[in-house]
């Protein structure tokens, strides 16, 4: 029983981190209908900037974070301006392929400039495990989950209450009407990419510290898809709930199924769950169902 609870709690903590990455994805999708297959690569790139400035150049943590923020903002703006702006309104195949191309490009670039060996993102957090009623918790994951929830809260507030967020929601609702109302749609697309870049910095700190930074770090991006599809592509609540569910399912699968079938179930159980949910709720748990007309 204790083991179960431990698995559940660990799953929830990891799930919060998935939710964090999923948030960046949902944000871009909501604003511009662009499906970002390169979200994991964004996280990886931020991780690389952090690791390089911390490890190779020995800069203090806050400078490294600042550098990563600047770097990711520039990257997001460039990507938006040079490639994805042209993809707005194009077929779904083009959009998906453009971001897949972007993902491959970022992987190659990161490997070329930062090297392919694994780097660390050292953080001033103790490794000493905490015991809570005999349940083993790693402080690292606790802090990470805390950071994730703070980010999620901030982004939700930003989206629901701030002026920019309201504009973004208006664009998501109807692009043409927003244009007519004087919203600079291109500017707000750029903003949504920047926010996704900033979320990637947080993801880069947390995931880079947990897994180590190399090109494999981008694989966390693959976990985003079951999360967002489970929750519904255009729902922030969905991203959070989906992240937590996927985290728990994954953790339980690793705990119970792996000993039976011999490993690796963690990588695909989220997808199996996702397919089952898709069969019954094609727009996810919280997604908005499209009404299509000819």
Partner 1 sequence: MLNRETATFKRTYAEDMALYPAPLPRYTILVLLFLFFVVVPLVSSEYTLGVANLLGIASFGALGLNLLVGYTGQISIGHAAFMSVGAYTSAMLVSIMGLHWGLGMIAGGAAAAFLGMLVGIPSLRIKGLYLAISTLAAQLIIEWGINHLPFIPGGAGGSIYMDKPSIFGFQLKTNLSFYYFIYVVLVIGIVFALNLFRTHLGRSMIAVRDRDIAAEIIGINIFKVKLTAFGIASFYAGITGVLYTYYFGVANYEAFTLVVSIQFLAMIIIGGLGSVLGSVFGAVFISLLPIVLDIFLRRVGGEFMEESQIAAITTQIQLMLYGGLIMLFLVVEPDGLRKLWRNITDYFKVWPFPYL
| Site residues for partner 1 per CB under 8 A | 35, 82-83, 86-87, 90-94, 96-98, 100-109, 111-112, 116, 222, 225-226, 229, 233, 261-265, 267-268, 271-272, 274-275, 278-279, 282, 292-294
Taking the least distance from each CB to partner 1, the nearer of 151 and 172 is 172
Q: Alpha-carbon Rg of the chain, whole angstroms?
A: 19
Residue ranges in 33-91 assigned as alpha helix (H)? 39-51, 61-82
| Nearest-approach distance from CB 193 to partner 1, in angstroms | 15
- When the beta carbons of 43 and 103 are compared against partner 1, the nearer one is 103
Give the shortest CB-71-to-partner 1 separation in angstroms: 18
Burial of 261 (0-12, 13-18, 19+ CB in 10 A): exposed
Helix (H), strand (E) at residue 135: strand 135-137
- Distance of alpha carbon 11 from alpha carbon 138, whole angstroms: 12
C-alpha–C-alpha distance, residues 40 and 25, integer Å = 10
Give the shortest CB-231-to-partner 1 separation in angstroms. 13
Of 111 and 212, the one with the shorter C-beta distance to partner 1 is 111
- How far apart are alpha carbons 15 and 43 in whole angstroms? 16
In the complex, minimum distance from the CB of residue 44 to partner 1, in angstroms, rounded to a whole number: 13
33 or 141: CB nearest partner 1: 33
Q: How far apart are alpha carbons 124 and 131 in whole angstroms? A: 20
Is residue 11 left, alpha or beta, with left meaning phi > 0 and alpha meaning psi from -120 to 50? Answer: alpha
Please report how close the Cβ of residue 73 comes to partner 1 at its closest, in angstroms.
Answer: 20
The H or E element spanning position 112 is helix 92-114
CA atoms within 13 A on the CB side of 129: 10
Alpha-carbon dihedral of residues 107, 112, 114, 115, nearest 10 degrees?
100
| Residue 203 and residue 24 in contact, taking contact as beta carbons nearer than 8 Å | yes
Min. distance of Cβ 162 from partner 1 in angstroms?
27
Report, in Å, the least distance between residue 165 CB and partner 1.
23
Report angle CA 89, 94, 99 to the nearest 5 degrees: 105
Q: How far is the CB of 262 from partner 1 (least distance, A)?
A: 6
Residue number with CB closer to partner 1 (108 or 129): 108
When the beta carbons of 91 and 124 are compared against partner 1, the nearer one is 91
The phi, psi pair for 168, rounded to 5°, reads -60, -40
User: Toward partner 1, which CB reaches closer, 3 or 113?
Assistant: 113
Q: Structure tokens of 60?
A: 């203090």
Question: Which residue lies nearer to partner 1 by CB, 16 or 277?
Answer: 277
């Amino acid at each position: 029983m204790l083991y179960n609870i431990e698995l559940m709690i660990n799953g929830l903590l990891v799930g919060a981190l998935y939710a964090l990455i999923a948030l960046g994805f949902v944000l871009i999708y909501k604003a511009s209908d662009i499906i970002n297959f390169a979200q994991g690569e964004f996280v990886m790139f931020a991780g690389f900037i952090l690791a390089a400035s911390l490890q190779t150049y020995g800069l203090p943590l806050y400078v490294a974070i600042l550098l990563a923020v600047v770097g990711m903002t520039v990257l997001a703006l460039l990507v938006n301006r040079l490639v994805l702006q042209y993809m707005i309104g194009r077929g779904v195949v083009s959009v998906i392929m453009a971001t897949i191309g972007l993902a491959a490009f970022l992987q190659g670039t990161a490997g070329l400039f930062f090297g392919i060996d694994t780097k660390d993102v050292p953080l001033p957090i103790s490794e000493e495990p905490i015991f809570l009623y005999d349940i083993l918790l790693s402080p690292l994951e606790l802090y990470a989950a805390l950071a994730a929830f703070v980010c999620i809260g901030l982004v939700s507030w930003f989206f629901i209450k701030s002026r920019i967020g309201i504009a973004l929601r208006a664009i998501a609702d109807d692009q043409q009407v927003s244009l007519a109302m004087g919203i600079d749609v291109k500017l707000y697309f750029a903003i949504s990419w920047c926010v996704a870049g900033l979320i990637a910095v947080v993801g880069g700190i947390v995931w880079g510290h947990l897994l180590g930074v190399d090109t494999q770090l981008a694989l966390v991006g693959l976990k985003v898809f079951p999360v967002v599809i489970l929750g519904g592509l255009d729902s922030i609540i969905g991203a959070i709930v989906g992240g937590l569910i996927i985290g728990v399912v994954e953790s339980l699968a690793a705990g119970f199924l792996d000993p039976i079938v011999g490993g690796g179930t963690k990588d695909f159980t989220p997808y199996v769950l996702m397919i089952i949910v898709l069969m019954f709720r094609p727009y996810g748990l919280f997604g908005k169902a499209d009404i299509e007309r000819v």
